[in-house]
A and B are shown apart, each in its own frame.
Chain A
Amino acid sequence: MTRDDFIAVENFSFFYGEKQALHDIDMAIPERRVTALIGPSGCGKSTLLRNMNRMNDLIEGVRHRGDIRLNGHSLYDPKVEVISLRKRVGMVFQKYNPFAKTVYENVVFSLRVAGRNRKRELDEVVERSLRSAALWDEVKDRLHDSAFGLSGGQQQRLCIARAIANQPEILLMDEPCAALDPTATLKIESLIRELKEQFTIVIVTHNMEQATRCSDRTAFLYMGRLIEYGDTKQVFENPREEETEAYISGRFS
């Protein structure tokens, strides 16, 4: 049984200082599905995504109202440790950002910081994660070379492998293909479709085709508000709101 409100965003508002970036967002993100966040630049997609692992806590002067629940538990519960939360929520960024380490050390980073250093376990994790990220065959002979020797697409898949190495429940992706060429993009998209068997995926994208190709549900944000949220097919073929219609038909960006 999968849960329909695995991530429950409840009446959530978010402020950068005086500036309100999100207005009363309410949405339920289903387990082991791909949910796409679309909308014009600056509408608050990244802000919403980055609140799901409390990455925005790093910025000074931010505050929020409302709540986000993960499998029923509030992220903002004072008892929640941010570090353990982030272990359950992996994240992939717009620009691939491997560490200045070997491929191997990149993948096992999250285990190392958790104090898990047994060689056998790490070896297993490296192979499993790289296979899941569809990268194993390409890098299995270069595990101990610098990660910077890989191509851009490979580096991004390495970042995906790194994000899933510690077996999180959720995978957040902020425009993961924005810096990649079309071939690499297609690879990542098919990877996303595979990964949803294991993970609940939330993906921010600028690319409408990408949303239709790999997401089950789509949320359209506009000026910090959730305008429309539903099955991808419905949102794209039969949008209920005028703004959604205007956006997906490319009348504004």
Chain B
Amino acid sequence: MADSSNAFATTGRSRRGEPFVWLTAAGLTIGVILTLGLLGLVVVKGLEVFWPDRLEVFEVDQDGATESVAGYLVQDRTRRDLDGATHEEIQVFRGNLELYGEKFLFLDKADIRDTSRPDDLLLVERMEGGHVIGTAARIEFGDGARVGAEDPEFGDRLEALIEENEERRKELKEIEKDQIGRNAKQVKELTLRRRLIEDGVESGSIEAIDAELQELQAEFARLDEERGEIRERLEADRFLVASADGRELGIAGGELLHVFEPNRAGFFARLGETLRRMWSFLSDDPREANTEGGVYPAIFGTVVMTLVMSIFVTPFGVIAAIYLREYAKQGPLVRAVRISVNNLAGVPSIVFGVFGLAFFIYFVGGVVDGWFFPNAEEPVYKSGGILWASLTLALLTVPVVIVATEEALAAVPRGVREAALACGASKWQAIQRVVLPASLPGILTGVILAMARGAGEVAPLMLVGVVKSAPDLPIDAAAPFIHPERQFMHLGFHIYDLGFQSPDSEAAKPMVFATTLLLIFIVVVMNLSAIIIRNRLRKKYATSSF
């Protein structure tokens, strides 16, 4: 060491520094690996969900007899039982809930005699009861006609059956939701008016109302009948599937959603099926306690809530920041306010949920109901809804906007302000016409960061209006089109609900990954758009002065 320090005086010191360099590098590496690992897992698992697996038939020894099990492989694992022996086993999804009572099954590899992949195995999606796996047997039509699987027309008939019933389901939905719903609403309103007239609060003719009510009742009877007919027709035809163990399972035509032959499909057919599944995931309503179907209402709820939140949070945060930075006399008070605002971002979000519940729902909602809906039977605004959720999140994210806006305002060069004032602008004119446009990129960054934060927040929402399943979207075709009081679904809550509240956690697992991937994707898209918009604006408003 002595001679080396003679020759190169710095060697010793830099060598002593080296472990720390390695330490920091290791820290970074671990962080990056963890992040990438998490993302990779979510991406792989989330996309895997949509890829159609091949169906297999396993011949299994069971108490001497051989049983056939058809399904697809879910996992391959080694289990250690109590006396230390290990078993290689696989988990198979075999569906056909009515026949077996459970959709999943573990098979000991030692018991498997044979595996095969028959081409004619079908994977059938239906409304309720989960997937059906088996071979096509026949279609039994309501009028007694039968078409066997060996019939050359069978494929076309099956397709026609699916399409027909899709139409019928749409019709049914339209009758139930729109027409019967409207009818019920009118009846409710008229009944209320009738009562008010009877009590002498309002004036009007009871006879006229009774006549109208009678008409509505007649209309309801007609609609009800129509509904019954459609339901009957949905039940009329049956598609019969033969399971691997030779039993038959009937699926009502109205239940049929989609039939796919995974073993016959080539690469492109499987790709097409993947895209179809993705689309149905994005655009369908959830079914079966959210474990099947899509997440469309949750996407809708997340996006609408986030947008409404930003509509509230932007003006509020920007105005507060302008006051803090431009008008308030900088002193201990303003400093205290600023520190409080920054710390607000650190308050656990559930606290905001409690506040939202107490203040927005119970207090404000109660007042609104008292003023505008004194006769409503159930609370309208005095219960969780998308408006209150958005306001609660706006409160939660307002510090982000305030801080970003303050920074953006502070970054506007003094020269620009002075130039505006020297032109005879008042302080407010200078802010409005020159300072704000110049700080727009910074403000926008803040807003979209707030949006990203809001879109990923779950805990407070559970108290102020998110539900696991909402029958109606907060914006729809029913007057008055925007329903700020409605409860809504949300992707973040959906993940929680699927993962931890679902009655069938095994079936929900793929949905958890797919939904997680979607939520991450939405948040990333929002952040990316933040960066792109900001860079654009920065170019546009780049100031050439210091």
Q: Which residues of A contact B (CB under 8 A)?
A: 53, 55, 58, 83-84, 86-87, 89-91, 93, 95-101, 109-110, 112-114, 146, 148, 155, 159, 162-163, 166
Q: Which residues of B contact A (CB under 8 A)?
A: 413, 415-416, 418-426, 429, 433-434, 437-438, 540-546
- Closest residue on chain A to residue B426 by CB atoms: A83
The 4 lowest CB-CB distance pairs between A and B, nearest first, are A91-B422, A110-B423, A97-B415, A97-B545
- Write the nearest CB–CB distance from B326 to chain A, whole angstroms: 11
Q: Are A95 and B433 in contact (CB under 8 A)?
A: no
- Write the nearest CB–CB distance from B392 to chain A, whole angstroms: 36
Q: Are B422 and A53 in contact (CB under 8 A)?
A: yes
Contacts of B540 in A (CB 8 A): 100, 146
Q: Are A100 and B545 in contact (CB under 8 A)?
A: no
Pick from B424, B426, B434, B546: contact of A99, CB below 8 A: B434
Q: Are B423 and A162 in contact (CB under 8 A)?
A: yes
Pick from B429, B433, B545: contact of A96, CB below 8 A: B545
Q: Are B423 and A97 in contact (CB under 8 A)?
A: no
Q: Are B545 and A163 in contact (CB under 8 A)?
A: no
Having A58-B418, A97-B413, A166-B423, one finds 12 other A-B pairs with CB under 8 Å, namely A83-B424, A90-B422, A95-B415, A97-B418, A100-B437, A100-B543, A109-B423, A110-B424, A113-B433, A155-B544, A159-B419, A162-B423
Looking at B433, B543, B545, B546, the one whose CB has the most chain A CB atoms below 10 A away is: B545
Complex CA gap A112/B429 in Å reads 10
- Closest residue on chain B to residue A54 by CB atoms: B421
Complex CA gap A163/B421 in Å reads 11
Contacts of B415 in A (CB 8 A): 93, 95, 97
User: What are 24 residue pairs bridging A and B, where the CB atoms are less than 8 Å apart in the complex?
Assistant: A53-B422, A86-B423, A90-B422, A91-B419, A91-B422, A93-B415, A95-B415, A97-B419, A98-B419, A98-B544, A99-B433, A100-B437, A100-B438, A100-B540, A110-B425, A112-B433, A114-B424, A148-B542, A148-B543, A148-B544, A162-B419, A162-B423, A163-B422, A166-B424
Complex CA gap A106/B413 in Å reads 17
Q: Are B544 and A86 in contact (CB under 8 A)?
A: no
Contacts of B543 in A (CB 8 A): 97, 100, 148
Looking at B421, B422, B429, the one whose CB has the most chain A CB atoms below 10 A away is: B422
Complex CA gap A96/B413 in Å reads 12
Interface of B: prevailing SS:
helix
- Write the nearest CB–CB distance from A185 to chain B, whole angstroms: 18
Contacts of A86 in B (CB 8 A): 421-424
Contacts of A97 in B (CB 8 A): 413, 415-416, 418-419, 543-545
Contacts of A89 in B (CB 8 A): 422
- Write the nearest CB–CB distance from B206 to chain A, whole angstroms: 60
- Write the nearest CB–CB distance from B331 to chain A, whole angstroms: 10
- Closest residue on chain A to residue B329 by CB atoms: A60
Pick from A90, A96, A99, A155: contact of B420, CB below 8 A: A99
- Write the nearest CB–CB distance from B56 to chain A, whole angstroms: 65
Pick from A55, A99, A113: contact of B416, CB below 8 A: A99
Q: Are A95 and B546 in contact (CB under 8 A)?
A: yes
Contacts of A93 in B (CB 8 A): 415, 418-419, 422
Complex CA gap A76/B57 in Å reads 97
- Closest residue on chain B to residue A91 by CB atoms: B422
Complex CA gap A90/B546 in Å reads 20
Contacts of A98 in B (CB 8 A): 419, 544
Contacts of A87 in B (CB 8 A): 424
Complex CA gap A162/B433 in Å reads 15
Q: Are A113 and B425 in contact (CB under 8 A)?
A: yes
- Write the nearest CB–CB distance from A62 to chain B, whole angstroms: 15
- Closest residue on chain B to residue A87 by CB atoms: B424
- Write the nearest CB–CB distance from B492 to chain A, whole angstroms: 38
- Write the nearest CB–CB distance from A61 to chain B, whole angstroms: 12
Contacts of B421 in A (CB 8 A): 55, 58, 86
Contacts of B420 in A (CB 8 A): 99, 109, 113
Complex CA gap A58/B546 in Å reads 18
Contacts of B419 in A (CB 8 A): 91, 93, 97-99, 159, 162
- Closest residue on chain B to residue A90 by CB atoms: B422
**Given A93-B419, A109-B433, A113-B433: A100 in contact with B541 (beta carbons within 8 A):** yes
Contacts of A99 in B (CB 8 A): 416, 419-420, 433-434, 437-438
Complex CA gap A149/B365 in Å reads 53
Complex CA gap A93/B418 in Å reads 9
Complex CA gap A114/B420 in Å reads 12
Complex CA gap A83/B424 in Å reads 5
Contacts of B542 in A (CB 8 A): 100, 148
Contacts of B429 in A (CB 8 A): 113
- Write the nearest CB–CB distance from A109 to chain B, whole angstroms: 5
**Given A96-B545, A98-B544, A100-B541: A55 in contact with B418 (beta carbons within 8 A):** yes
Contacts of A95 in B (CB 8 A): 415, 545-546
- Write the nearest CB–CB distance from B416 to chain A, whole angstroms: 5
Complex CA gap A96/B543 in Å reads 10
Contacts of A53 in B (CB 8 A): 422
Looking at A98, A99, A109, A166, the one whose CB has the most chain B CB atoms below 10 A away is: A99
Contacts of A162 in B (CB 8 A): 419, 423
- Write the nearest CB–CB distance from A151 to chain B, whole angstroms: 11
Looking at B415, B423, B542, B545, the one whose CB has the most chain A CB atoms below 10 A away is: B423
Complex CA gap A122/B526 in Å reads 41
- Closest residue on chain A to residue B418 by CB atoms: A55
Complex CA gap A83/B421 in Å reads 8
Complex CA gap A114/B544 in Å reads 25
Contacts of B413 in A (CB 8 A): 97
Contacts of A159 in B (CB 8 A): 419
- Closest residue on chain B to residue A152 by CB atoms: B544
- Closest residue on chain A to residue B417 by CB atoms: A58
Complex CA gap A114/B426 in Å reads 9
- Closest residue on chain A to residue B429 by CB atoms: A113
Contacts of B434 in A (CB 8 A): 99-100
- Closest residue on chain B to residue A165 by CB atoms: B423
Q: Are B426 and A113 in contact (CB under 8 A)?
A: yes
Complex CA gap A155/B542 in Å reads 14
- Write the nearest CB–CB distance from A55 to chain B, whole angstroms: 6
Q: Are B424 and A113 in contact (CB under 8 A)?
A: yes
- Write the nearest CB–CB distance from B1 to chain A, whole angstroms: 53
- Write the nearest CB–CB distance from B401 to chain A, whole angstroms: 21
- Write the nearest CB–CB distance from B414 to chain A, whole angstroms: 9
Contacts of A114 in B (CB 8 A): 424
- Closest residue on chain A to residue B423 by CB atoms: A110
Looking at A55, A95, A97, A110, the one whose CB has the most chain B CB atoms below 10 A away is: A97
Complex CA gap A101/B544 in Å reads 12
Complex CA gap A82/B424 in Å reads 8
- Write the nearest CB–CB distance from B254 to chain A, whole angstroms: 62
Complex CA gap A8/B434 in Å reads 33
- Closest residue on chain B to residue A98 by CB atoms: B544
- Closest residue on chain A to residue B412 by CB atoms: A100
Complex CA gap A97/B424 in Å reads 16
Contacts of B424 in A (CB 8 A): 83-84, 86-87, 110, 113-114, 166
